[in-house]
Each structure stands twice: as C-alpha cells, then as structure tokens.
Amino acid sequence: MHVSFASVSLVGLSCLSNLASAAPFSFADDPTGEGYPTPSPQQLMQIELQAHGSLPNGPSPASVKPDTVTSLQLIAFNEIFETAFFSSAIQNITNNVEGYVIPNGTYRDAVLEGLVAIRAQEELHTLFANNSLKALGAMPVQPCEYKFPVATLPDAIALAAMFTDIVLGALPAIQQLLAKANDSALIPGIGSVIGQEGEQVGAFRLLQNKIPSALPFLTAGTREFAFSALNQNFIVPGSCAIDYIKLPVYEPLTVMTMPIAAKAQTLSFEFPMPANCSTPDTSSYSLAYVNQQNVPVIEPLQSVTANMATKMMQFTAAFPYNGTTFGNGLTFALVVDGPTAALTSAAEVAAITKYGPGLISIN
C-alpha cells in the first residue's frame, strides 16, 4: 500500500465528536457476516482464515486475581470497539460512502484486504480475552453501540492511529499489574498483541505520510485513561452496562486548540462544570501531561473562567514542546487535584485525575 492519504492532524477527539450524527454502529444485525461476537465454530474458522492466524490454542490460567479480571474486561471492551470501528470503515469503503471513495480499484482492493485482516485480528483479540473471562467464571464483555467522530477516510485512519496509541499505553501498564498480581502467564500473550497493534499504527502512519514509528519509547498510559477515552468518545451512553468493569470514567477534558503545531505554545482546554453549576475551586488543580516514558510535565491552569452559557470551565496552559524530551507522538493531558511534586508515572497521575484524558498527537 504505497498510495498516501492527505495528511490530517487529529487532536482533541472530543472536539471532533460534534461531527458524529450518523446512526450508531451496532453488532445486532451481524455486520461482519460472521456471527461476531458469538461466532459458531465454522464462523470462527472463517475469522481465523481472514486473520491469517488463530487464537492461542494452549491452556489458559485456571484462576487469576480480581484485578486481572478487570484488565481482561478492559481489553475485551477495547477490542470489540476496535472491531466495530474497522467494520464500519470496511462498510463505508465497500459501499462508496461519501468521504470513503477510493477511485483506484487496485489500491481500494489493497486497503480493503488490509482492513479485513485487521478486523479479523481484532475479533480474535476480543474472543481471546472474552473466552478467558468465561473460563475464569468472570463476567464476559457485552457489545455496546458505537459512534465514530469522523466522516472521511483520512480522518478515520488518523483516529485509528490515535486510539491504537491509547491502547498501546494501557497494555504495558496491564503487564505490570499482571506481574504484581502474580498472573504472569498472561504477560507474553499481551506482549504479542502490543507488537501486533504497533504494526497497525506503523501502517496507519505511513498512510498519513508520517514516518512509520513515532517515538523511541511510546507514551505510557493507564487502564483508566483508556477506559475513560473509550467511554467519552465512542460508546453511545447507556447502550451497554459498563459498571461491572471496575475502572473509573473521568469527566472529560477537551483540548480546544486545533490543529496543534509542533512548537512550544499555550493551549486552550475546557471541562464541564459540576452538575449543580457551581464554579469549582480550581486552586488545587494542575495540568499533567504524560508523554513517552518520561516523568509527567506539570503546568498550572491559567486564565480559568466559567462559561455559564455552555456550562464549561475554560483555561489555558503552557505546552512546552521541544521535540525530544517532550511533545512528539501521543500526549495525554489530565487535570489533577493534589500535590504534583513527586509524580513520576502515569499511574500516579491517574490516581489524582479529575478530568481527562485530553488527547494531543504531534508528528
């Protein structure tokens, strides 16, 4: 696939969500034609053929800690969203939906071939996590209805790179939690998925005329960042139960500046006022940025104002981009409440996060 799309810069997914107006995506009418997410054995074989490979066929752990169940639930919850996304993209290209028309038939076939394999691979990731949950006697993950804040193929590719980067932050955090819980048997399988998702992002980046690999060390995340971003941006609220997954969904933080250039600058943000419309005391709040495997960058909230018409709190903060220690690739932005001097990891940021993650993607 050597034809490139126009380069698009995707920042602050929440801004783009204004575009979402189409009917939500649902698995109810079997859009994959393979009975997914409950394929029969014959349908599973079809999925494995499309995926160019199979589910792991060795034994899975007989028991795991409750926190490991939460990790498996988050993985299944994310992968079923990804399956929905790629199914919708395939439908749009196949049906020549406006914004998704690829006039060159050779290239169109190559894109579809790649996306069909990626979708099937995501289906197997989901089924692996879900089957493990069932074998452990834990609650498997039900599908939701989904919305995608994009309406063109270049935007869809940029969004796919963004949400895959988010999960690439969460999976190493999950590996560490598995190690701490003594559930290490699952770590190699998750490592194999990290590499697999990284291959996908490399392809999505080439399609955007970017260099294939964004950073020497990809941006760290947490399960909380990923679960919040998924629920804030892609899940139709109320379309599925989420409360059995023991992870918080933060209130959103939207990056209003867009596009964001690769330079040091001041960015604008907003987050919702509390439900009682009182103006919160933000004096103990800070903005934490998480980028690469580096210590979080902390900036004060500046020019904090309450917009009573939109019921949003608005502020600005420095974004001290310098292209090496800070700013390229994915950056998570979080409004935290508490002392920040000793923060060294994404997990420590997550523990005091109130609003987020704002999403910034550069180069």
Ligand X SMILES: *[C@@H]1O[C@H](CO)[C@@H](O)[C@H](O)[C@H]1NC(C)=O
Question: Which of residues 31 and 198 has its CB atom nearest to ligand X in the complex?
Answer: 31
Q: 342: which 2 tokens? A: 């000793």
Q: In DSSP terms, which residues pair with 287 in a beta bridge?
A: 299, 335
Number of C-alpha atoms within 13 angstroms, CB side, residue 358?
Answer: 28
Please report the sign of the dihedral spanned by the C-alpha atoms of residue 335, residue 338, residue 339, residue 342: negative
Distance between CA atoms of 79 and 125, rounded to whole angstroms? Answer: 6
Question: Which of residues 156 and 352 has its CB atom nearest to ligand X in the complex?
Answer: 156
State the residue number with the nearest CB to ligand X.
22
Closest approach of ligand X to the CB of residue 110, in Å = 6
Closest approach of ligand X to the CB of residue 180, in Å = 6
Closest approach of ligand X to the CB of residue 34, in Å = 12
Closest approach of ligand X to the CB of residue 130, in Å = 4
Residues that bind ligand X (CB under 6 A): 2-3, 22, 37-38, 65, 76, 80, 85, 88-89, 92, 97, 99, 104, 106-107, 126-127, 130, 140-143, 148, 150-151, 156, 181-182, 274, 276, 278, 297, 320, 322, 324-326
Question: Which of residues 324 and 344 has its CB atom nearest to ligand X in the complex?
Answer: 324
Question: Which of residues 160 and 359 has its CB atom nearest to ligand X in the complex?
Answer: 160
Alpha-helical segments (H) within the chain: 13-16, 41-51, 66-94, 105-135, 153-180, 187-207, 223-233, 346-351
Q: Is residue 85 exposed (0-12), middle (13-18) or buried (19+ Cβ within 10 Å)?
A: buried
Closest approach of ligand X to the CB of residue 49, in Å = 19
In 3-state terms the chain splits into helix, strand, coil percentages (rounded to 5) of: 40, 15, 45
Strand ranges (E), 226-311 = 254-255, 265-272, 285-291, 297-299, 302-307
Closest approach of ligand X to the CB of residue 140, in Å = 4
Using the structure block, give the residue that is written with the tokens 């001041």.
Answer: 266
Question: Which of residues 152 and 254 has its CB atom nearest to ligand X in the complex?
Answer: 152
Closest approach of ligand X to the CB of residue 318, in Å = 8
Question: Which of residues 28 and 211 has its CB atom nearest to ligand X in the complex?
Answer: 28
Residue 63 CB neighbours (<10 A): 9
Q: Quick one: CA torsion of 214, 85, 115, 142, rounded to 10 degrees?
A: 110
Question: Which of residues 37 and 358 has its CB atom nearest to ligand X in the complex?
Answer: 37
